[in-house]
Chain A
Amino acid sequence: MREKATTIYLGPQHPGITGNMMVRLKVIGDTIVSAQTEVGYLHRAFEKLQERRNWLQGFTLMCRFCVPESDPMENVYARSVEAIDGREVPERGKYIRVMVLELARIATQLMWYAGQNGSLGLYTMGQWSIGDRDYILDLFEELTGGRVYHMYQWPGGVRRDLPEGFTDKVLRTLDYLEKRLKDYDDLMFANSIFQKRTQGVGIVPKENIIEHGVVGPVLRGAGIRSDIRIDEPYEVYDKLDFEIPTQEGSDIWARALVRRAEVHQSIRIIRQVIDQMPSGEYFNKFPNPLKWIVPAGDAYVRVESGRGEVGFYAVSDGTIHPRRMHLRGAAYVHAITLLESILPGQNIADVSAIMNSLGTCAPEIER
């Protein structure tokens, strides 16, 4: 007797799912037969709004693209405008940007620790990592004036110089985090429940990787050493020494290990940045923002965010307003076609864990 498939709507109001998106699942028993995503719950039309704003005003919208990870977005905006306008960033500005980007990467991964474990029922991890992430937010607050939305990197450099004694605080926080990461390992990676729930679950088939445009930790979790920081070095990444961790399993477990290693690498990068931080200017001033005309042209720049490649395409037609701005998010390719293709055959209980490990960020998908 053939069993009848049942349709289950997962989301948009569902505590396990990151952001507001819905997955329509056809299940037999608790095995998924097919999946169809539905997004659009967070569409704010940023890019349309940016067409109405001038070249400076648009930057304030950038950090809202993906709320847990705002800095890569600011970075691509700044760099795309710099590329069209032919604007240089002072060396110190670049170093500060790298520091911010790496701190943001740690914060994102800490958020991910909480989400990944929350989706598997390990809530203690969330209490820890979100609490520890707050110390990084404290650093951000001191540096940029905002906890979540930093609005710090803008075309030409960064907005303010490092406050006095800031680097010491960063180092202290990093020391503390390193200590905590050991606790995380004990609680999470050594945990046999976590291992059993993640190993062999949510496998992204290696032969599908190119077809689906997979990027970031998902790609590295499939054993491919690809990272924009080394492929197309931006800011000062070519002067820094760090490793690109990869894993072979291509399942949630492999991606978790990649992310875990990335936090360690980020800490290593920040230490180097602080060592090498040059003195001098941190910002090359742009003209009066109300009359700032960017010459006609277009540019696509990319940055490696905690969830993978984030790109930004900006077009100017030689006026004070951008012609077009278009963001490419990591989640945009992962959370729709890739998710739909790997869900069949999985269990319902694993859906939110899979979504988490693919780096789903709903506000970034629909923008």
Chain B
Amino acid sequence: MSFFDLQGTLKPLTALKQFGKKPHTLKDIPWKKREASDRYRGLHFNDLDECIGCGNCSTICQNAAIDMIHLEGIEGKKGDSGLRPRVDNGRCCWCALCVEVCPTGSLSLTKDYIYVTEDPDAFLWTPGVDNPDGAERKSFVSDKDHSLNDFNRIPMPELEGKERVKSFAEVVLGYNEQQAREEASRCISCGICTEVCPDHMHIPEYINAIASGNDKDAVKIIYDNNPLPEMCGKVCTRRCEDVCAIATRGDSVAIRWLKRYATETAATADLTHEIVNPEIKEANGKTVGIIGAGPSGLTAAYYLALRGYDVTIYEASAKAGGATMYGIPKYRLPIESLDKQIGYIQSIGVKINFNTKVGKDISFKEIYDKYDTVFMGVGFPDAWPLGVDGDDAKGSMQAFRYLYMINAGDKVDIGDKVVVVGGGNVAIDAARVSRRFGAEVTILYRRRVADMPADWEEIEGAEDEGVHIIPQGIPTKIHKDDKGHVTGIEYLKAKMVADDKGGRPRPVAIEGSETILEATAVMAAIGQMGDYSFLPKEFEDKIKIERGRFVVNEKQQTGDPKVFAGGDAVNRTADAISAIADGFRACKAIDEYLSK
């Protein structure tokens, strides 16, 4: 190194070539805002109408920055908790995990990033309220492709359509352990579903137990307020899945199948008893008589027995389960499954008197006098007839009666061409059962397929099995031969007319569009009704019946304070889970009533 390094002294001076050049300084700042990039993670924005208040953002936030709060003007309703997120910007790190897990996609981050104040308490930020115009400045969003929610359900393994019609083997095969864990881990545990469940089952808790591998805890949680969960796991109408937070943009979590998975791990009644390990209170000497061993009666009986009551059920048929036993075909709900659950209920001390019809084998008065309280879960044992010409022909029957007879093991002659009238689950069941006896089956329904009240899975299943559906057909007449046997059904085609009152569109028959369908049997599946002939006159006045149903208060109590009622004979929803909810509510009310 020389004393004077010429190159080393002159080279740095080349920096002077920058002199006079336009600087790259952003001169407008801070007077003008610089637009952030299209993906910038700035302040939050929330679409308040789209948000359902599931609180998933609040759960994922690792900084505990997001609170769920009540906002003025936003009320909770079914499928919406009524809460909305508020971000503490004194915690937020703008990682946008809240956006990535938002099931509805309502939460997003915006391009705004300047938030300067002197007041440290002013950093609570309610997205959507504090920046109502944020929608235009959205930058970091989570669309369906980017969301961390798993929007696709694990498909349920099923028998093939061709295989199914050969026997009454169960169609749905059930998840295996890995499938169940995967499906359970899709749940975000918000609990919005529990509100619409008539029985308010602890859905997030048991799904979480399944996801974390604790099936036994799941079973225990499920049995907390439902003694027939395996039945529900197979055939429930599952309104919970309609409001599932994940369902806002994808398939709902298969709540029903997960319940089914959990309860099936308890394979026998004894095993169920061992897992649930119910705490049975000491007998308190009080007695409850229950009429009907359907879901509501069994539920009330089970929880009353747990509370130390002496419970006796009177059942007209040879088996317990009511409509779930006799109304649901065995390919949906195998008899062994129901036997297991009823065996478990009996194992904790519930007594069931089979083949004892109240009003015939024992009078209502006798029961009323013998027990401290009476619960009636009598259901709808009868079905509406079709009510058209030729209704009385041989081979014209009610689908509900048909299912009863098949389930009771009787033989019914239906020939080889069956027409089922109606669009509910009973119609589909009757159709699919008839298919299993080799008949060609047609379903005739007044409205469009989309209007059918039956489960879409059932409708699809029926189509897979080769059931033919004729929508928009109004039956007018049943044709019969000389011997009085059904030969066909005549119907009018219908068009859909918008309802003036804003209701759903009505079918209106088109004149002159008569068509005749050949048939050897016609089944009406247009509704059921109650049979209250067992009630003596003196009680009928006290226990009011309106529009074919018992009138009860919110505690399932009828006009006679000693008599409670539940199930199809009370509620309008006519499904098993409502009946179970009635039974559970009645149990609590009876407990309260008798403890006074």
Contacts and interface: CB of A to CB of B under 8 A. Distances in A.
Listed from nearest, the 8 A-B pairs whose CB atoms lie closest are A192-B8, A190-B11, A57-B62, A145-B39, A291-B185, A192-B5, A60-B95, A145-B41
B173 interface: no
A60 B38 contact: no
Interface string A247-271: 0000000000000000000000000
Nearest to A287: B185
Nearest to B139: A145
26 contacts: A53-B62, A56-B60, A60-B93, A60-B95, A60-B97, A141-B39, A145-B39, A145-B139, A151-B95, A163-B38, A186-B12, A187-B11, A187-B12, A187-B15, A188-B12, A190-B7, A190-B11, A195-B5, A285-B150, A287-B182, A288-B149, A288-B185, A288-B188, A290-B101, A291-B184, A293-B213
A191 B39 contact: no
B172 interface: no
A129 to B, nearest CB: 13
Contacts of B7: 190, 192
A124 interface: yes
Interface of A: 53, 56-58, 60-61, 124, 131, 138, 141-146, 149, 151, 159-160, 163, 183, 186-188, 190-193, 195-196, 285-293, 320
Contacts of A183: 14-15
Contacts of A192: 1, 5, 7-9
B330 interface: no
Given A145-B37, A186-B11, A187-B12, 15 more contacts: A56-B97, A138-B37, A142-B39, A143-B39, A144-B39, A145-B41, A145-B109, A145-B139, A190-B7, A190-B11, A191-B8, A285-B150, A290-B189, A293-B213, A320-B212
Nearest to B140: A145
B427 interface: no
A169 B41 CA distance: 20
A127 to B, nearest CB: 10
Contacts of B140: 145
A292 B11 CA distance: 59
Interface in B132-172: 139-140, 146, 148-150
B498 interface: no
Contacts of A289: 60, 97, 101, 148
Contact of A288 (B9, B37, B186): B186
A285 B14 CA distance: 52
A149 B7 CA distance: 41
Nearest to B61: A57
B40 interface: yes
Contacts of B5: 192, 195
A141 B37 contact: yes
Contacts of B187: 288, 291
Interface in B82-104: 93-97, 101
Given A289-B101, A292-B185, A141 B12 contact: no
Contacts of A160: 39, 146
A21 to B, nearest CB: 24
Contacts of A138: 37
A156 to B, nearest CB: 10
A193 B8 CA distance: 8
Interface of B: 1, 5, 7-9, 11-12, 14-15, 24, 36-41, 56, 59-60, 62, 93-97, 101, 109, 139-140, 146, 148-150, 182, 184-189, 208, 211-213
Contacts of B101: 289-290
A195 B7 CA distance: 12
A89 to B, nearest CB: 16
Contacts of B148: 56, 285-286, 288-289
B8 A290 contact: no
A111 B29 CA distance: 23
B12 A196 contact: no
A141 B11 contact: no
A68 to B, nearest CB: 18
A291 B212 contact: yes
* Listed residue (A56, A193, A291, A292) with the most chain B CB atoms within 10 angstroms of its CB: A291
B583 to A, nearest CB: 32
A288 to B, nearest CB: 5
Nearest to B109: A145
A293 B212 CA distance: 8
A142 B139 CA distance: 11
Contacts of A290: 56, 59-60, 101, 188-189
A320 B211 CA distance: 11
Contacts of B8: 190-193, 195
B37 A142 contact: yes
A292 B187 CA distance: 11
A191 B9 CA distance: 6
A4 to B, nearest CB: 34
Nearest to B207: A291
B309 to A, nearest CB: 40
Contact of A141 (B36, B62, B146): B36
A60 B11 contact: no
B9 A287 contact: no
A116 B513 CA distance: 93
A146 B15 contact: no
Given A287-B185, A293-B212, A190 B12 contact: yes
Contacts of B93: 60, 149
